[in-house]
Amino acid sequence: MVVKSGSKSKSVEAQEPLFVPNANDASSATQDERLYNEILDAILDHRLSPGIKLKEDELADIFSVSRTVVRRALLRLCHDRIVDIQPNRGATIIQPDVSKAREILRARRLIERELVKEAMQFATPSALDNLRVCVEGERDQVRKHHVGSGLRLSGDFHVQLAQLSQNTTLIGYLKELVPQTSLIIAMYQTPHHTLCSHQEHFDLIDVIQSGDVEAAQSMMEQHLDNIEAKLDLGNERTAGDLYAAFAHVK
Ligand SMILES: [Zn+2]
C-alpha cells in the first residue's frame, strides 16, 4: 500500500475497513455508558429520587435510544445496587437506610485501608499523575455545580486508586460499594457540603507519593470517617419526574 504524505488516514480507512462490523456494538456500548452515567448523575444530583419509577419507554424517548439500550443501562444500575428491578413493576431507585449506609462505610474503611497500602507498592509517578487528572475532573464538575457527576467522579478516584494494587478480590468488593456510597452521600449529605472532598483526594495522593504507608492509611480512614460524620438522617426527598430530570437532553 502506497501512502502519500498528508493522506495517510484516508487511505488506511478506505483500504482497511476492519472495524466496520463492530461499529454498531461500539456505538451501542457507548450509548449504554452514556445512559448509565446520565441516570446515575441525575440520581446523585437529586433530579431523581428514591421511589420514582424509571420507565423504559420514557427513557428511550428522552435519549432517542432503543429499549434494549435502556434495559442494559438499568441492569447495570441494578448490578450496582442503585436501582431495584422487579417483574411487572420495572426499575425503581433504591433507598438505602442509615444502618446500611454505616455498614457500607465500615466495609470501605476495612477494604481501603488495605488497598491503599497495596496500591502504594505500584504507585509510580505517572500513575499518581493520572490520579491527579481524575481528581481535577472531579473538581471541575463540582466548580460547575454538577454535583452528580462530581460525586460519580469522586467514586472513580477511589476505584482508580484501588486498581493500582494487584488485589482483584478487594478491587471487586470496592467496585460494588462505591456506587452505593455515592447514592448514600447524595441522599444524606448536609446541604452545601461536599462530603467526598476533592482537596482530601489531592492530599491523599501527596501522602501516597511521600511513601509513608501509615500516614496514607490513616488519611484514608479519616477521609471515610469524615463522610460518615456528615450524614444527615432527616433529609427526606420526594420523587421527581423523568422528563423534568432530563430536560437538558430534549
Ligand atoms: Zn473520596
> Domain spans of the chain?
15-95+237-245, 98-229
Residue-wise pLDDT tens digits, 188-246: 877 655 555 789 999 999 999 999 999 999 999 999 998 888 777 555 444 456 666 67
Ligand 1 centroid – CA 95 distance (Å):
21
* C-alpha span between 117 and 214 (Å, rounded): 8
Distance from Cα 58 to the centre of ligand 1, integer Å: 33
CA of 158 from ligand 1 middle (Å) equals 6
Question: What is the chain's mean pLDDT, rounded?
Answer: 82
> For 143-162, what is each residue's pLDDT tens digit?
888 888 888 888 999 999 99
Which whole number is the average pLDDT over 66-78? 94
- Tell me the CATH class for 98-229: mainly alpha
pLDDT tens-digit readout, 33-50: 899 999 988 888 878 887
Q: Rounded to the nearest whole angstrom, what is the distance from the C-alpha of residue 197 to the centroid of ligand 1?
A: 6
Kindly state the greatest CA–CA separation across the chain: 70
Whether 98-229 and 15-95+237-245 are alike in CATH topology: the answer is no
CA of 154 relative to ligand 1 center, distance in Å: 6
Separation CA 34–CA 243 (nearest Å): 17
**From the CA of 9, how far away is ligand 1's center (Å)?**
42
**What is the Å distance from ligand 1's center to 72 Cα?**
28
d(CA 205, CA 239): 38
Q: Which of 53, 58, 62 is nearest to 90 (CA)?
A: 53
Query: Domain 15-95+237-245 class?
Result: mainly alpha
Q: How far is CA 184 from CA 152, 195, 203, 214, 223, in A?
A: 12, 11, 24, 28, 15
> Stretch 15-32: mean pLDDT, rounded?
52
For residue 126, the number of C-alpha atoms closer than 13 Å in the C-beta half-sphere is 0
The Å distance, Cα 159 to ligand 1 centre, comes to 10
pLDDT more than 90, % of the chain: 50
pTM, to two decimals: 0.75
Taking 3-state DSSP, the helix, strand and coil percentages for the chain, each rounded to the nearest 5, stand at 65, 5, 30
Closest CA to 156 of 176, 136, 178: 178
Q: What's the chain's Rg over C-alpha atoms?
A: 21
Cα(124) to ligand 1 centroid in Å equals 20
pLDDT attached to residue 230: 79
* DSSP SS3 for 102: helix
Contact 71, 31 (CB under 8 A): no
Closest CA to 186 of 175, 195, 198, 178: 195
CA of 176 to the centre of ligand 1 (A): 15
Residues 6+ apart with CB under 8 A from 19: 26
Point out which residues pair with 250 in neighbouring strands: none
